[in-house]
Every structure is written in C-alpha cells, then in structure tokens.
Amino acid sequence: MNDDHPGGETEERTGNRRSAVSKSCAFGHLSSQRRRRLLWLVRQHGRISLPDAAEEVAVAEADVEITELDPEDVRDIYMMLYHSDVPRLASDDVVVYNQERDMIAPGENFQSVAEVLVQHFDEA
C-alpha cells in the first residue's frame, strides 16, 4: 500500500509504472461528479479537447443549452479540470493529457476505472 497515493493504494507496480488501479483507487477517482462526467466523455469520444470537455461539463452542471452558458462558468470549469481533475487522473495513468494540443485521451489504466464507472454510476 502506498499512503501518499491519491487513491490510497495500487494493485501492482511493474517497474516504475502501475499495472492497474485498485477498486478503492478507482472509487476515489470517481468520487467527483465532474471527474465522472469527464471520464464518460473520454469513454464516449476516445479523446477530447479540454475546452470541449469543459463546455460539455458546464452544460451538464448548469442543465442549460450551450447557448445559455456563461463563458465565465466554462472558464472556471476548464481551470478546475486543468489544475485538479485531469492531473489527478493522469497521475494514475487513467487519462493522458497532451498539454501542447490540450487533449485528453484514455491512459493505460483507463479501462479498469471505466469498468467501475459503468458498473456503479449512471452516465452523466
């Protein structure tokens, strides 16, 4: 067990890479509705730009049409995703973030978290 790990534990390490995240760690990542929405988007699209993800999350959170969104709300969600949610998911290779292209894609451990997402949470 690795206590300084964001999810609390990992199943195995192969060299310097984690081979899978534990169920406990997966639930830690999925404890945030915003991260769940982001992971549903990655699952649906395969990869998605962070600005598009922020816009879709903002639409879902505000429960309004895209034309009714306040641009400041989208910017705030983008910043939270960029500074908090994406790094947390990327730290366990659940997603891969390409900063130059501002793109999010499934990481090596995406499938193990996506399985828990599908089994225990409704699509956002």
Amino acid 124: pLDDT: 57
Structural contact between residues 42 and 106, judged by C-beta atoms closer than 8 angstroms: yes
Q: Is residue 3 over pLDDT 70?
A: no
Q: What is the pLDDT of residues 74-88, one digit of tens each?
A: 999 999 999 999 999
User: What architecture is domain 10-120?
Assistant: Orthogonal Bundle (1.10)
Report the distance separating Cα 120 and Cα 91, nearest Å.
22
State the pTM of this model: 0.82
Q: What is the pLDDT of residues 99-121, one digit of tens each?
A: 999 999 999 999 999 999 999 99
Task: Kindly list the domain boundaries of the chain, sorted by start residue.
Answer: 10-120
Q: Is residue 8 over pLDDT 90?
A: no
Buried b (16+ CB within 10 A) or exposed e, 44-68: eeeebebeebbbbbbbbeeeeeeee
Q: Is residue 32 over pLDDT 50?
A: yes
Amino acid 5: pLDDT: 43
Structural contact between residues 120 and 74, judged by C-beta atoms closer than 8 angstroms: no
Residue 15, classed as helix, strand or coil, is coil
Structural contact between residues 60 and 111, judged by C-beta atoms closer than 8 angstroms: no
